[in-house]
Chain A
């Protein structure tokens, strides 16, 4: 059965790997120092260099805390009067709580750094309160996941990972579908031209009827952002109000990029990748937790948390490659639909100036952790498109 699953996985991965970006597309080699004003480039590099350090330290803290917790976490079992699954909930939540505590200083330092660079406006107390209660949401998700895996592990014993992987894919699909209905404060753009432009782009991409929404974030950040989410009738393209104020041609490129995600089914494909990763990951967790009696026992939960995080870190670069391909495809799609490489160039220069996004981060960091092409690569794609049009 394993062989059949592996073969099916390889076929599915090969299918998901395909994009519409021409295979023979050669991106020109660009120098960041020539593409960006020196001051903007220096600010972005300095800003992101610091963020990279705190990010890496925070990841190290995550691994260290969970490694210790995997060994010692079972001591918290005496704090529970619940049954095995309830005790598993407690151990899982306490693991996350310890991780939150360990990463709190890095979060605060990052906030200080972002405030210092005028990237965010949120205050320390507000950030702390939001982050703390955000942890509550993570607790609930974790408990749902533990309910599934522990329930199945107690029910079907060692083969739990197969139905559990299917359940997780089902849940992700459900949450992806319902997500757009649960995000508050999304509203239609007030500007009629923007609405009309969005409708035009959606028609050209073959996804007419997918609405554009604006999310007001200017109270807490200046960062520009946009995203597409949802499935089927719940699909939406969302612009942060910070990006909706960009020059009109740049906003048009952004919208075309997001409609590109929807036209090329990137969200559904993301669920497909998740399915491909979660099945072997669940198997590895099942194997790793066997010596603690399997995931049906609460004593296995701290170890399972550690294994999951290690697997996430290990598969992160692979997932990054896939998402970077889809982002590149959405960029290419935007170029084909909007036919405005100049605006795309300007957009990514703007990103560097406003969001302090380093357009050319260290290669190792980009490979290991980035899920988007670099700013420089995206400008290069705009140039490649312009050249192809001539």
Chain B
């Protein structure tokens, strides 16, 4: 099943996000970003009220005609576009001050909506609000209040902290400090924010009947595809998305022996990590045997996470051996800077925070995957990709924390870092699904 993910790459959705940002940021505007955004926020509130009031009209008119009336369509398209501009600005995903009209192609981070939407099915229109609930929830977890029109949910990006910050908000807070220090947006953060904004834009475009294409959480569905930086801890995905309904129905209970086992293993791993820390501090590299032990632990936690989150089909083994359909490859022990080793726990905090936010979204996606797999016998590829991304980031964070590598976790989304080694002969990546390999920057 090598390359399943590539072969079954989802089609690009009707809603996509364009990012022409150069990562350069003005420290002054970043420092005062929230205050500068106040006029935009006020305007956004007014626009949101109008959007909510007009929504029943849009719904009825679309239900009658089978497609949204041109005037209303343009109004909501501009609203979604403006929301993306505003949230990109507030979350530091873009630098310039956005316009107030949500004009197309007017901002470095922009959403591309279908010009002339095709006729939509009446059933889909009739139940749109209900159908949109799962993606709206996921958009909330990703964009923290709804990047593409979140005002409809009655919250702005920064107030979401009260309800538990989404990925966009969490990354924005960390990015604020990074930019003030370096004058530049970290590329991984920017890619993650673009992904979150892209998904939220899809969700709200779907809600406001601008498209009938169901939102797809695949990292390459709406956001621009980009090569992932090489990392010693890389994900491989060879999973068959078909699922056995019985193992899905009882998945959490089936994982119980694993949960008991990983709890015991984690205690030992924590002790081993402390020993490794001292050894790495003294010798400059982790001892091979301890590295191998911790690598097994990280691999096992990925297998188990994949199984519980329905992103992996089969029941995993208990020893963290390579070969699970959703796996991580972990490089051999290497020299590590003693300074980075000494302060590893503190340095890992931002990655842990980001990982926690991504994990929240993945948990929500897993609930969706569970229902989808139970009813259809398949896990949706986009959902699986989001969970796989979360597991990859989590493995990189654990690997960093447990001294498997000194390379910092890379937060740019991407379903697969490396394809598993092909069995008969290597095949070139298909044009529709370029996958990055080791050494591709």
Contacts and interface: CB of A to CB of B under 8 A. Distances in A.
A81 B303 CA distance: 10
A305 interface: no
Interface residues of B, number: 22
A97 B317 CA distance: 20
A93 B314 contact: no
A83 B313 CA distance: 15
Interface stretch (A26-34, A136-144, A276-284): A136-144
A79 interface: yes
Greatest chain A CB density within 10 A among B246, B249, B324 is at B246
A135 B253 contact: yes
Given A94-B247, A98-B246, A81 B325 contact: yes
Given A81-B325, A97-B249, A86 B318 contact: yes
A97 B315 contact: no
A76 interface: yes
Contact of A139 (B246, B254, B315, B319): B254
B241 interface: no
Given A81-B324, A81-B325, A93-B253, A87 B315 contact: yes
Interface string B304-320: 00000000011111110
B315 A82 contact: yes
Contacts of B319: 83
Interface string A88-101: 01100110011000
A140 B254 contact: no
Interface in B315-347: 315-319, 323-325
Interface in A161-195: none
Given A94-B246, A94-B247, A97-B250, A81 B314 contact: yes
A80 interface: yes
Given A79-B313, A80-B314, A81-B323, A94 B257 contact: no
Contacts of A80: 314-315
A90 B260 CA distance: 15
Contacts of B317: 81-83, 86
**Most-contacted residue by chain A among B244, B315, B323 (CB, 10 A):** B315
A334 B313 CA distance: 57
Contacts of B244: 76, 79
A82 B246 contact: no
Interface residues of A, number: 23
B315 A140 contact: no
B316 A94 contact: no
Interface in B232-264: 244, 246-247, 249-250, 252-254, 256-257, 260
Interface in A59-80: 76, 78-80
A94 B247 CA distance: 7
A136 B251 CA distance: 11
Contacts of A135: 250, 253
B247 to A, nearest CB: 5
Nearest to A94: B246
A98 B254 CA distance: 13
Given A94-B246, A98-B246, A136 B253 contact: yes
Contacts of B315: 79-82, 86-87, 89-90
Contacts of A83: 317-319
Nearest to A98: B246
Contacts of A90: 247, 254, 315
A131 to B, nearest CB: 12
Contacts of B323: 81
Contact of B250 (A78, A85, A89, A94): A94
A97 B260 contact: no
Nearest to A85: B318
A13 to B, nearest CB: 35
Nearest to B249: A97
Q: Which 6 A-B pairs have the closest CB atoms?
A: A81-B314, A82-B317, A143-B257, A90-B315, A80-B315, A136-B253
16 contacts: A76-B244, A76-B247, A81-B315, A81-B317, A82-B314, A83-B318, A87-B315, A89-B257, A94-B246, A94-B247, A97-B254, A98-B246, A133-B253, A136-B253, A140-B256, A140-B260
Given A81-B324, A97-B249, 12 more contacts: A79-B314, A80-B315, A81-B314, A81-B325, A83-B318, A85-B318, A86-B316, A90-B315, A93-B253, A94-B254, A135-B253, A140-B256
Interface of B: 244, 246-247, 249-250, 252-254, 256-257, 260, 303, 313-319, 323-325
